[in-house]
A and B are shown apart, each in its own frame.
Chain A
């Protein structure tokens, strides 16, 4: 693939219009019968569109890296910029792969931004956790640092009930995942990578576990049954 950020070009007028992204998907580049490296010559319009795409992605990745920089306390401006650039490159390829999925339900730039945000978030979290061990625990934290005696007493009954439900209503796997994601604050994409699974699969696991907890606590009288939002 051409490194678009290195190509000095003037932007053709066609790339300033609302449909500039159409130049990204010229037929030869989307033909699955063609292998990589056989995409044919780049046109000025396509190069300009790719450059514009990369600029949009960099805007998104830089913002996301900046927002999450507290997760990388040792990283300097150059490290953060490198992360943003790498995430933009990865997102660029992702956008080109999924170009046919764009249905104009949003502006194209908004659709593009989300790819940059996703890639940058994943990059920062993986960097932040790369030397941290993720342990799947079945035990809960030993301290409650942000609550004094009064609020502790007030919530003690519910907390005991939640702890009991965690022990009795969930499978071991559900309990481990709930504790890792919702108590130990392991990011869902980091945990998915460590466990060799997907963000979707973990979220479904959490969804089912939360439902079991709520059902157990409703049965024990600690929660009121909520109306079904699917039918409201």
Chain B
């Protein structure tokens, strides 16, 4: 580190420290994303913890889920 006292943004800190347990790979997310989005749209209380966690920790997968949600609504 060149400057150990330089602040990080709070957003960056949040991204760095996101708890991504239980682990789910991007491929597994892709395999389940269609079913996940349909369930979530049908029931706002629907929970799939590994999917929720992965989408909180992977910006590209989360963006894809948003597009799929938009397509279905």
Partners in one complex: yes
Is B68 a contact partner of A113 (Cβ separation < 8 A)?
Answer: yes
**Chain A min CB distance to B55 (Å):** 12
* A-B interface contact total, Cβ < 8 Å: 151
> CB < 8 Å: which of B26, B30, B53, B63 contacts A114?
B30
Cβ contacts B30-59/A at 8 Å (1 or 0 each) = 110111011000000000010001000111
> CB < 8 Å: which of B8, B15, B57, B64 contacts A140?
B8
Cβ contacts A133-173/B at 8 Å (1 or 0 each) = 00000111110111100011001101110111011000000
Given contacts A204-B23, A204-B25, contact A121 B15 (CB under 8 A): no
**For A213, what are the chain B residues with a Cβ–Cβ distance below 8 Å?**
16-17
How many residues on chain B are close to A (CB under 8 Å)? 46
Cβ contacts A64-78/B at 8 Å (1 or 0 each) = 100110000000000
**For B11, what are the chain A residues with a Cβ–Cβ distance below 8 Å?**
146
Is B7 a contact partner of A147 (Cβ separation < 8 A)?
Answer: yes
Is B1 a contact partner of A167 (Cβ separation < 8 A)?
Answer: yes
Is B64 a contact partner of A117 (Cβ separation < 8 A)?
Answer: yes
**For A199, what are the chain B residues with a Cβ–Cβ distance below 8 Å?**
26-27, 60
Is B21 a contact partner of A211 (Cβ separation < 8 A)?
Answer: yes
How many of chain A's residues touch chain B, expressed as a range? 35 or more
CA distance A212 to B66 in the complex (A): 29
Using a CB–CB distance below 8 Å, which chain A residues touch chain B?
Answer: 59-60, 63-64, 67-68, 101, 105-107, 110-111, 113-114, 117-118, 121, 125, 138-142, 144-147, 151-152, 155-156, 158-160, 162-164, 166-167, 178, 182-183, 187-189, 199-200, 203-204, 206-207, 210-211, 213-214, 217, 223, 226, 228-230
